[in-house]
Structure 1
Amino acid sequence: MSARLSGLPDEWASLDWQPTGIGAALLSWQGASHESWRATTAAGVGVIGKAPRPHAAASAAAVARAAASRAGVGPRMLVVDAASGISVEEALGPDWRVATGLRLQAPGAVAAVAAARRAFRESGADLPPRDLGAEAQAMIDGFAAAGAELPLTIAPLAVVLPRVRAAVAGGPAPMPCWLSSEMSDIQLGPDGAVLLTGGTTAGLADPLADVGSLLTELAPTVFPAEEAFEIIWGSPHAGALARARLWGVIVDLWVLLRAMQAHALDPESEVGYPGYLMFRTWHAEYPVLTGEIDALIMRAEEGWE
Structure 2
Amino acid sequence: MSRLVDDNMMAETVAAAGLSLVSGVAGPEALASPSYKALESRSVMAQGAFIKRMHPEMMLGFDLKAAMALASQAGRVGAGPEVIWHDASSGGIAMHGLADEWSTANQARLQDPTLVSSAMSALKTLHSTDPLEARFNPFVQIDDLIAELKREKAGLPDDIAWLRRLIGQIEPMLETGTLAPCRNDGSSSNLMIGPDGAVMLIDYDRAGMNDPLYDVGCLLAEVTNMERDMRAGYAAYVGSFDEVGFSRARLWSYVDDLLHGLWARLHAKTSQRGGVEWLKYGEWRLIRVRMGLMHPQFEEKIRLSGEAA
Root mean square deviation, CA, Å = 2.8
- SS of 1:252's partner is helix
Deviation for aligned residue 1:106: 2.1
Deviation for aligned residue 1:54: 0.8
Whether the 8 Å CA contact 1:219–1:228 is kept in 2: the answer is: no
Would you say 1:12 and 2:12 are equivalent positions?
no
In 1: Cα distance, 2:17 partner to 2:186 partner: 36
In the other structure, the counterpart of 1:108 is: 114
Deviation for aligned residue 1:193: 1.0
Worse overlay, 216-225 or 131-140: 216-225
Q: Which runs of 5+ in 1 are unaligned?
A: 41-45
CA gap of 1:6–1:142, structure 2 versus 1, over 3 A, is closer
In the other structure, the counterpart of 2:3 is: none
CA gap of 1:148–1:265, structure 2 versus 1, over 3 A, is closer
Would you say 1:136 and 2:138 are equivalent positions?
no
In the other structure, the counterpart of 1:43 is: none
CA gap of 1:100–1:253, structure 2 versus 1, over 3 A, is same
CA gap of 1:4–1:97, structure 2 versus 1, over 3 A, is closer
In 2: Cα distance, 1:91 partner to 1:14 partner: 14
Would you say 1:220 and 2:225 are equivalent positions?
yes
In the other structure, the counterpart of 1:69 is: 75
Would you say 1:98 and 2:98 are equivalent positions?
no
Q: Percent identity?
A: 25
- Give the one of 69, 83, 87 matched to 1:81: 87
Would you say 1:260 and 2:260 are equivalent positions?
no
CA gap of 1:18–1:127, structure 2 versus 1, over 3 A, is farther
TM-score by structure 1 length?
A: 0.85
Amino acid at match of 2:49: V
Deviation for aligned residue 1:49: 1.7
Query: What are the superposed Cα offsets for residues 206-255 of structure 1, whole Å, 9 maximum, x if unpaired?
Result: 12222222222223359623333222332222121111111110001011
In the other structure, the counterpart of 2:295 is: 290
Deviation for aligned residue 1:191: 0.9
Amino acid at match of 2:253: G
1:14-53 equivalences under 5 Å are 14-16=20-22, 18=24, 20=26, 22=28, 26-27=31-32, 32-40=39-47, 46-53=48-55
TM-score by structure 2 length?
A: 0.84
Whether the 8 Å CA contact 1:65–1:198 is kept in 2: the answer is: yes
Amino acid at match of 1:108: T
Amino acid at match of 1:266: S
Query: What are the superposed Cα offsets for residues 91-150 of structure 1, whole Å, 9 maximum, x if unpaired?
Result: 222211211222112241111000000100001153521112221122123334556542
Q: Name the count of aligned residue pairs.
A: 297
In 1: Cα distance, 2:236 partner to 2:217 partner: 12
Whether the 8 Å CA contact 2:14–2:21 is kept in 1: the answer is: no
